[in-house]
Amino acid sequence: MTETDMYPDLLRLTGYASKWSVEQGQDVDFFVHCDGPDSYRAELVKLIHGDTHPSGPGFKEERIDSPANGSYPARTQTIHAGSYGMVLDRQPLRVDSFTLQCWIWPTMPTKVDGYWSPGEQMIAGKWSDGTGYGLFLDLQGRVCLRINDQTLTAAQPVRDRAWHFLAATYDAATGHAVLHHEPQIRYALDPAAEPVEAEFVDRVVHTAVPFTFAARPAGTEPDAASLQPHGWVMTDHYNGKIDAVRLSRRVLTRLEIETMKLGAAPGMDERRGVGPSPDLGAPMVAAWDFGLEIPTRTIVDCGPYRLDGELVGMPARGMTGHNWSGAQVSWNVDHREYGAIHFHDDDVDDARWDVDFTLTVPSDLPSAVYAVKLTTADGDEDYIPFMVRTPLGEPQAKIAVIMSTIDYMAYANEHQASNFGSVEALLYRTPIMAPQNIFLSVHREYGYSLYDTHADGSGVHISSRLRPILNVRPKYDSWLTQSPWQFNADLHLIDWLTELGYEFDVITDEDISYDGLERVEGYNVLITGSHPEHKDGHYLDVIQAYKERGGRLMYMGGDGFYWRHTFHPAYGRGEVTELRRCESGIRPWQAQPGEYYHQSDGKLGGMWRFLGRDMAAVSGTSMVAQGFDISTYFKRTPESEDPRVAWAFEGISYDERLGDFGLVGGGAAGAELDTVDTTLGSPPHTLLVATSAGLHTDAYLTVTELILTNAPGHTGTQNPRIRADMAFHETPNGGGVWSFSSISYCGSLSHNNYDNNISKLTANVLNRFMVDGPLPEPDPSQIHPRGRFASTPALNFHLPEELPY
């Protein structure tokens, strides 16, 4: 039984927007796929609360009048997944006799029965529908040379994740063809890699198709109606690395093939010529060097014709090549050993759908979280969210809520519910999947999150928002917590602010990163979402500058500021982000040796902590543990009575359990937890005012980066370090930071119709932080030098006796 048989109406209606952050007065385009009904309806709504849990306030939206509201004709739209390179048809590529050579590192030589994208795999060439020339992997994983519909196949299949040298020659005058397939490593019991030969009858038939890498055109003519680059729709995608592709317009001897591995001369002038030797300069057509211009979508030809090409789908660049020695681990230091590109048949950089309608955001539409709600008469429904921001330098409130758009992209369309083999052990229960999870497990063309691996097992380190992202939706519950996560969880905060009557603007990660300090300096207080884990360096710079100038930060979540990201410069504002997972941190995959540096900017990826920017230096607390069975509550510490923070607990008794309720795991302290740790960046004058120490189950485990030696004692009932610490510290010029330190915290705000101690505490902090002017100065006795270890008893952490274990 297929997924369509089980769920015939599953997600027939979906779409995406051209922007996630739209300035008042600007346009935003919407792209919609509707399969089945003849039409659908679109209407603009303000999103307030996205959680449908019966114990909460329920789903909340407000309909907004808009010229874009109305009925639209339905049409199906297809995502053509898969990355590839393409050089448009040029006369020099229309060779008669030729030598085509390259290195490959295949990761999926054969595709198993039932694979979502079956077929042969194009390596490189100018071939489609039985015309042209090219190198392929056939269904058995063997290299083959094609001249039109004639095929010459190597004797042995390729080995996965190993380098192979390929060279094919064809003599148009005689029809003689030779194919070399040579593994770089030959084991003792491997057969000898002998060349194979054939006599072909037909000469190469040339068409207008481009020369392509890692895929081939599905036809010999472009589709004028297609939004695929230059109208070419691709098929037969290859999985793996390709390096050092060379094309010559005559048959080379074996010695010349070896020499041609060097490619074009490093500098062409009257003394050197074009090729690696004088005799090879004349027949050289192209020598592509994928190690050049890595942060771009351009592939560079160093040959005489400058047959540069373009990349589609954003494959992995800055990847170790066939000649990588390990002497350099950064392509930015020496690109010569980074000439490989890793292509995947499930890469997606842009769905490239047709625009269905455009919304012009009114200049007086308040900054908030919005969506276009899509419905059909048959009951189909989807939401396409976006945020409306104010013009730069024109804040319209004292409060700004930061929607974590980099995080939404990091988790976009994640497949762990269906792909992660040990998920039950992680959760201490069986996950309940949403329809979106089931749909994505079949429709791989919708792309992955940065928590997934590609079909070939390599980690996904590029994510785009130019596609339908089905888990960035109201009403969506994550399999991880069986409750809202990321975007929908952040609506818990939006709802609380709205219900309590606060005026606030909404901004996003990309707004801060691209606009700099000017985007935030007009606000008295910045409020994060529930899980601001993934951030780029520009964002951190802005937050630091904001705090140093007297700004106030409310850190409303947990696991913040953990992974380093970069927005890819080859795309528009905030459209594509990159993450490389290195040798530490909680990670579902790890990059290969030598591939830790971002292709976006050539800088080292991984955790911010190991790049010298401790998480606790941003928010005051640092990630320590995660667990996904149940959440618990906070207990106040003696430091909560310090005059520097006592104001936050007005109306709350000392012995109250803070947040023994909530929509995320049943409590305010849960899912992922942060602690005060002066060795990891918490300022030594930090006050630890409440903690969940001793209240977590063994489902909560210490993060791997804090474990230097394997030993017992790293679970919630055994390790007192596993806790969420609520904390406060002052910043220069009258600023301050309050850390709530738990992902589940915002899920407790609405309990008992917003009348509860978590709501009261949060309001006390916000009311203090949003006032004009600097915060009150502490008592002069508090002003004295402190070192990392010269902290108060609560920071050294002597547990109150009444806390249970």
Does residue 557 form part of some domain? yes
What does the DSSP assignment read for 549-583?
TT-EEEE-SSS-S-EEEEE-TTSSTTSEEE----S
Same domain for 73 and 140, yes or no, is no
pLDDT value for 379: 95
Span 352-362, pLDDT tens digits: 999 999 999 99
CA 77 from chain centre, in angstroms, equals 23
Q: How far is CA 258 from CA 102, 152, 255, 276, 398, in A?
A: 11, 21, 5, 10, 67
Same domain for 253 and 360, yes or no, is no
Taking the C-alpha atoms of residue 52 and residue 72, their distance in angstroms, rounded to an integer, is 28
pLDDT value for 428: 82
Does residue 416 form part of some domain? no
Same domain for 611 and 742, yes or no, is yes
Q: Which domain, by its residues, includes 774? A: 405-411+485-562+607-796
Same domain for 251 and 366, yes or no, is no
Task: Judge residue 350's burial from the number of C-beta atoms within 10 Å of its C-beta, 0-12 exposed, 13-18 middle, 19 or more buried.
Answer: buried
Q: Is the pLDDT of residue 792 over 70?
A: no
Does residue 805 form part of some domain? no
Give the CATH number for residue 385.
2.60.40.10
Does residue 774 form part of some domain? yes
Our count of domains for the chain comes to 3
Q: How far is CA 424 from CA 420, 427, 430, 664, 669, in A?
A: 9, 5, 5, 18, 21
Does residue 261 form part of some domain? yes
Query: Binning pLDDT at 50, 70 and 90, where does residue 800 land?
Result: very low
Same domain for 62 and 158, yes or no, is no
Taking the C-alpha atoms of residue 125 and residue 131, their distance in angstroms, rounded to an integer, is 11
Query: Binning pLDDT at 50, 70 and 90, where does residue 805 land?
Result: very low
Give the CATH number for residue 235.
2.60.120.200
SS3 of residue 769 by DSSP:
helix
Give the CATH number for residue 618.
3.40.50
Does residue 182 form part of some domain? yes
The secondary structure element, H or E, covering residue 762 is helix 757-769
Both tokens assigned to 219: 């036809």
Same domain for 219 and 276, yes or no, is yes
Both tokens assigned to 58: 């329920």
Taking the C-alpha atoms of residue 562 and residue 141, their distance in angstroms, rounded to an integer, is 40
Amino acid type, 422: S
Does residue 280 form part of some domain? yes
Both tokens assigned to 313: 């789908």
Same domain for 193 and 263, yes or no, is yes
Query: Binning pLDDT at 50, 70 and 90, where does residue 269 land?
Result: low
Span 582-611, pLDDT tens digits: 999 999 999 999 999 999 999 999 999 999
Span 411-431, pLDDT tens digits: 999 998 787 777 888 888 888
Taking the C-alpha atoms of residue 467 and residue 487, their distance in angstroms, rounded to an integer, is 16
Q: What is the 3-state secondary structure (H, E, C) of 466-507?
A: CCCCCCCCCCCCECCCCECCCHHHHHHHHHHHHHCCCCEEEE
Same domain for 184 and 220, yes or no, is yes
Same domain for 360 and 489, yes or no, is no
Span 205-232, pLDDT tens digits: 999 999 999 999 999 999 999 999 999 9
Q: What is the mean pLDDT of residues 290-314?
A: 97
Same domain for 292 and 166, yes or no, is yes
Same domain for 90 and 140, yes or no, is yes
Q: Is the pLDDT of residue 267 over 90?
A: no
Same domain for 123 and 257, yes or no, is yes
Does residue 447 form part of some domain? no
